[in-house]
Structure 1
């Protein structure tokens, strides 16, 4: 059962129009979504979703974009792609760091802050997909490795970010739909670790109310997270979560503070319900039928 190519993805249910690729309302070129003057940091941005997020913020005119990851060759390749999309004034940097090593994370972010100043937008994207196995047969050490890759890395990243955050800081946490959807057999380690990460980030937000936090399911993207030889076909284009993150960091999306959203959801329809979403428990993870 460890071959993810055999994983059967369900048909998702949505209360808004469904998007699988970028569209005009979340286009980084929109003046209302400008990231001018903002210093952006994206973890796990050597490839895939993190790279797409960094490119989108470059298109939106961020003051600086710094990408973090373990593999220098991937980071350098990503820098080339980001630079080709960036405005002339945008500074593009990279720092190699193993996010499971707190000292490496502290050192990397300290260097970033020294180079560009306070960090305005932090995208916590780095993570890993665990082997596909039923709970009854899962190797305990392998199961717990998922928590190191998805929880410890996030803990180190957000703890290091907070002292270096700007005056109006934004944390965009790349989560997973499996934190609140029906179980998919074989996905227990990944789902459990991403759910733990989500709850940790929720506590972090509650303890730091000045921080604007949004949790995002980025869609199903065919990236390296599925493995180099995977035959899994993505349902969504990688640019979708990239552009969606730019919108989430804009003033237009401030009503989503503390919420969980899917990149596939339609922005105009979300905006129509902005007051309702902001003032009620909508788009939060909890126990259905109990308002607590």
Structure 2
């Protein structure tokens, strides 16, 4: 197993009765209750795929500014054009080229953004990489550990740099993966292990900084450039779904999900119907089944 064409995607189990594969009115950025007016938003990996969709959605929701970070200048410039075309007229769109494995570059990029628009209100930790698919027993150690550099180190640099530049009521949306909590999928060991480590790191970050509103997200199964240019993997969900879902997660309506792990496919009305139960329990957190600790 050396390519994404060989991934066997299981049948998902949903927390809500209704399952979404595309945007719907309850999470629309144009909904008055979901307005991002006055908010400064920063998205890592905003040049393509999910990050680009999230940036467009916050622009549509009327954010004061939307800033994207990424390595590839051509992708960032293309994304800025798309965000600007979709955003409300007052939304300022910025980009910075940055290698997220380099802490100094991340700090410089965020300092430049905040000097232009002010403190960061919503930070979307989205950037990541999909390493080669191999069984654990056949994995080259250096390649395996490269996954942790691309998925854990990049997130560490991003959230550490974000914290001192955060606004008064900061929100951190962590784009994770279901592989961090489902049973193993063959060949996905390096990606799943690194994303599980990233998730646990973000959980500690949230516990150590209770003023932060942190939510982790399974964004859906979406065909993006993370799978490589030659991948034949077919997406199950429209890329706009996690974009719109993130706008809803950053709204006052979703405050009860602080510290939780949610899937973009789940129906928000059903989640709201169970608001108190979810907020006051260990529901939608990652742990050991049957042991409440």
TM (norm. structure 2) is: 0.99
1:249 aligns with 2:281: no
> Counterpart in 2 of 1:126?
127
> Counterpart in 2 of 1:80?
81
> Counterpart in 2 of 1:4?
4
Inter-partner Cα distance in structure 2 for 1:286 and 1:274:
20
Question: What residue ranges of structure 2 are gaps of 5+ in the alignment?
Answer: none
Inter-partner Cα distance in structure 1 for 2:92 and 2:4:
38
Equivalenced residues, count: 292
Inter-partner Cα distance in structure 2 for 1:136 and 1:70:
32
> Counterpart in 2 of 1:33?
34
> Counterpart in 1 of 2:288?
287
Map 1:100-115 → 2, pairs under 5 A: 100-115=101-116
Map 1:196-215 → 2, pairs under 5 A: 196-215=197-216
> Counterpart in 1 of 2:64?
63
> Counterpart in 2 of 1:216?
217
> Counterpart in 2 of 1:273?
274
Inter-partner Cα distance in structure 1 for 2:289 and 2:112:
44
SS at match of 2:182: coil
Inter-partner Cα distance in structure 2 for 1:196 and 1:13:
23
* Structure 1 outlier segments of 4+, above 4 Å: none
Deviation per CA, 1:17-41: give whole Å up to 9, x if none. Answer: 1100000000000000000000000
Deviation per CA, 1:200-232: give whole Å up to 9, x if none. Answer: 000000000000000000000000011001110
Inter-partner Cα distance in structure 2 for 1:14 and 1:46:
30
Deviation per CA, 1:123-150: give whole Å up to 9, x if none. Answer: 0000000100000000000000000000
Inter-partner Cα distance in structure 1 for 2:6 and 2:133:
10
Inter-partner Cα distance in structure 2 for 1:198 and 1:251:
23
Inter-partner Cα distance in structure 2 for 1:97 and 1:15:
37
> Counterpart in 2 of 1:171?
172
Inter-partner Cα distance in structure 1 for 2:15 and 2:202:
25
Inter-partner Cα distance in structure 2 for 1:28 and 1:45:
18
Inter-partner Cα distance in structure 2 for 1:285 and 1:3:
28
TM (norm. structure 1) is: 1.00
> Counterpart in 2 of 1:14?
14
Inter-partner Cα distance in structure 1 for 2:15 and 2:209:
31
> Counterpart in 2 of 1:48?
49
SS at match of 2:131: coil
CA-CA distance at 1:15 after TM superposition:
2.7
Inter-partner Cα distance in structure 1 for 2:237 and 2:11:
13
Question: What residue ranges of structure 1 are gaps of 5+ in the alignment?
Answer: none
Inter-partner Cα distance in structure 1 for 2:46 and 2:233:
21
> Counterpart in 2 of 1:180?
181
Inter-partner Cα distance in structure 2 for 1:199 and 1:45:
23
SS at match of 2:11: coil
Inter-partner Cα distance in structure 2 for 1:129 and 1:200:
19
SS at match of 1:215: strand
> Counterpart in 2 of 1:157?
158
